[in-house]
């Protein structure tokens, strides 16, 4: 396995340095004082797209980016692993609608932990689709270099990362750069129509919410002979909290964000709940849980009951339900409806929200009217992390505690021989809030 350059080590150090120097208060201050850049010079000509994280979602995002703009070209790609990078390019070259726009010479295919820096240097727009641990570092480097960003969800695995992303997104506003989030339901026309009605009072004052994410199990990559701890965990990243944030962060963030949207950007003041591992108990399942159940409470006393589970052979349901004084909003990919005093249902054909988010990103760049999804993408990520803190510790966690948490999920370096952070399975009542 190729050894990373010293700059990869610097990345680990700079992440920790940033985390130590960016307090929640500093972020709050920067948010309060930030000016929002409305209009910048539009762009014409070729837009060079770079992809960091060439897995399933990254490959899809690259295709969507290339379809979004007639003059977009994929010019650089980076991945921790050469086989993932090769597989991605192979897939893209087999797509007749984008194959001709894949112009990635061998010298612009970067492998290793420091690949992101080289991809960013070659690009105008970067697509960030690695496991979420790396997102704060990658968003920060891209914005520092003056590049537009598409950032897959979630955008961090710990509060230190959230604070970093909040600060970086303020920098993006000042620089007139777009940051579009992979919280794709925000780009779904049906969801948008429903939310317009909820915000206009169709269900009356919101009294309670429920978010369900009951799913089956997903891929798992058992350890192979000869793999270092770091390589094994990077391959099997979903199951390690330091890389994925746990699945209530990695997956459930979509519908927690839907609730934040329904609440017009209000976030809960506290969370408590329970969670554990019943089916996914083997070592190949790292240290994440397979179920979480969290009660979030808002300042008004309104509660959101949030359930998520990944176990096989059980009933599935991915949806949100918002109960208001005059009716209920039923929200899922299948059903978008309001029941009660002002009944309504979305009956139009659904748009492909994965495509729409890229269409809007590239239109924004062309028009010089930057989009910045930084606030909700970071805060909804923190909401999910707060839920994990509550289920891991068994304690009630306030928003302020979550935002100010010093939990540090940084490894001792980013090389294949570096030591991943300790990954004990959390035991409520024993595990303490970091």
| Cα gap 302→185, rounded to integer Å | 23
For the bound state, the minimum distance from the C-beta of residue 112 to ligand NAD, rounded and expressed in Å, comes to: 8
Binding ligand NAD (rule: CB under 6 A), the pick from 18, 27, 72, 78 is 78
For the bound state, the minimum distance from the C-beta of residue 52 to ligand NAD, rounded and expressed in Å, comes to: 5
Instruction: Answer yes or no whether residue 418 interacts with ligand NAD by CB under 6 A.
Output: no
| Cα gap 387→255, rounded to integer Å | 13
Residue burial 309-341, b: 16+ Cβ < 10 Å; e: rest: bbeeeeeeebbbbbbbeebbbbbbeeebbbebe
Whether 204 and 326 have beta carbons less than 8 Å apart is answered as: yes
Instruction: Answer yes or no whether residue 361 interacts with ligand NAD by CB under 6 A.
Output: no
Hey, which residues between 48 and 77 contact ligand NAD (CB under 6 A)? 52-58
Hey, which residues between 128 and 157 contact ligand NAD (CB under 6 A)? 129-132, 134, 152-153
Binding ligand NAD (rule: CB under 6 A), the pick from 115, 165, 256, 331 is 115
Taking the least distance from each CB to ligand NAD, the nearer of 141 and 172 is: 141
Instruction: Answer yes or no whether residue 304 interacts with ligand NAD by CB under 6 A.
Output: no
Taking the least distance from each CB to ligand NAD, the nearer of 134 and 392 is: 134
E strand spans, 3-152: 47-52, 72-79, 109-111, 125-128, 148-151
Hey, which residues between 80 and 109 contact ligand NAD (CB under 6 A)? 80-81, 84
Whether 31 and 37 have beta carbons less than 8 Å apart is answered as: no
| Cα gap 238→241, rounded to integer Å | 8
The CB-nearest residue to ligand NAD is: 55
DSSP 287-336: T--SEEEEEEE-TTS-EEEEEEEE-TTS--EEEEEEEESSEEEEESSS-E
Structure tokens at 410: 């940084």
Instruction: Answer yes or no whether residue 409 interacts with ligand NAD by CB under 6 A.
Output: no
Hey, which residues between 243 and 272 contact ligand NAD (CB under 6 A)? 250
Q: Which residue do the tokens 């915000």 mark?
A: 199
- Binding residues with ligand NAD: total (CB under 6 A): 26
Which residues neighbour 92 within 8 Å (Cβ) at sequence distance 6 or greater?
Answer: 59, 62, 63, 66, 74, 98, 99, 102
Which one of the spans 64-72, 78-86, 255-263, 314-322 is the region binding ligand NAD (CB under 6 A)?
78-86
Instruction: Answer yes or no whether residue 162 interacts with ligand NAD by CB under 6 A.
Output: no
Relative to beta strand 109-111, strand 72-79 is parallel
Binding ligand NAD (rule: CB under 6 A), the pick from 18, 116, 296, 307 is 116
Helices 24-33 and 159-175, packing angle to 10 deg: 20
Per-residue mark of binding to ligand NAD, 190-229 (x: CB under 6 A): ----------------------------------------
For the bound state, the minimum distance from the C-beta of residue 382 to ligand NAD, rounded and expressed in Å, comes to: 16
Residues that bind ligand NAD (CB under 6 A): 52-58, 78-81, 84, 113, 115-116, 129-132, 134, 152-153, 182, 184, 234, 250
């Amino acid at each position: 396995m190729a050894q990373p350059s010293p700059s990869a080590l610097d990345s680990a150090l700079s992440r920790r340095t940033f985390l130590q120097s960016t307090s929640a208060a500093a972020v709050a201050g920067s948010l309060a004082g930030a000016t929002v850049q409305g209009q910048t010079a539009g762009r014409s000509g070729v837009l060079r797209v770079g992809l960091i994280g060439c897995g399933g979602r990254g490959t899809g995002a690259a295709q969507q980016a290339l379809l979004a703009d007639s003059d977009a070209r994929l010019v650089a790609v980076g991945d921790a692993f050469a086989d993932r990078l090769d597989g991605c390019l192979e897939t893209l070259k087999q797509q007749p609608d984008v194959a001709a726009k894949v112009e990635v010479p061998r010298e612009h295919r970067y492998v290793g932990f420091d690949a992101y820096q080289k991809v960013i240097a070659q690009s105008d727009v970067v697509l960030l689709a690695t496991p979420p641990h790396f997102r704060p570092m990658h968003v920060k480097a891209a914005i520092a270099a003056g590049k537009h960003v598409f950032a897959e969800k979630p955008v961090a695995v710990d509060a230190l990362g959230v604070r970093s992303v909040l600060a970086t997104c303020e920098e993006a506003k000042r620089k007139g750069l777009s940051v579009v989030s992979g919280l794709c339901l925000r780009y779904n026309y049906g969801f948008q129509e429903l939310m317009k009605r909820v915000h206009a009072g169709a269900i009356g004052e919101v009294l309670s919410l429920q978010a369900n994410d009951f799913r089956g199990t997903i891929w798992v990559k058992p350890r192979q002979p000869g793999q270092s701890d770091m390589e094994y965990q990077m391959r099997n990243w979903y199951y390690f909290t330091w890389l994925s944030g746990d699945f209530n962060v990695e997956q459930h963030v979509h519908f927690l964000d839907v609730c934040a949207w329904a609440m017009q950007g209000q976030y809960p003041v506290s969370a408590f709940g329970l969670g554990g591992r019943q089916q996914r108990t083997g070592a190949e399942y790292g240290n994440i849980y397979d179920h979480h159940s969290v009660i979030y409470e808002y300042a008004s006393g309104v509660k959101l009951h949030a359930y998520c589970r990944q176990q096989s052979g059980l009933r599935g349901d991915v949806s949100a339900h918002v109960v208001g004084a005059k009716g209920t909003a039923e929200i899922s990919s299948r059903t978008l409806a309001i029941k009660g005093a002002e009944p309504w249902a979305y009956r139009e054909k659904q748009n492909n929200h994965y495509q729409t988010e890229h269409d809007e990103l590239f239109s924004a760049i062309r028009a010089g009217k930057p989009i910045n999804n930084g606030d909700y993408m970071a805060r909804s990520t923190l909401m999910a992390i707060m839920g994990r803190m509550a289920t891991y510790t068994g304690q009630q966690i306030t928003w302020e505690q979550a935002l100010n948490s010093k939990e540090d999920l940084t490894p001792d370096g980013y090389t294949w021989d570096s030591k991943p952070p300790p990954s004990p399975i959390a035991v409520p009542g024993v595990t303490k809030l970091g």
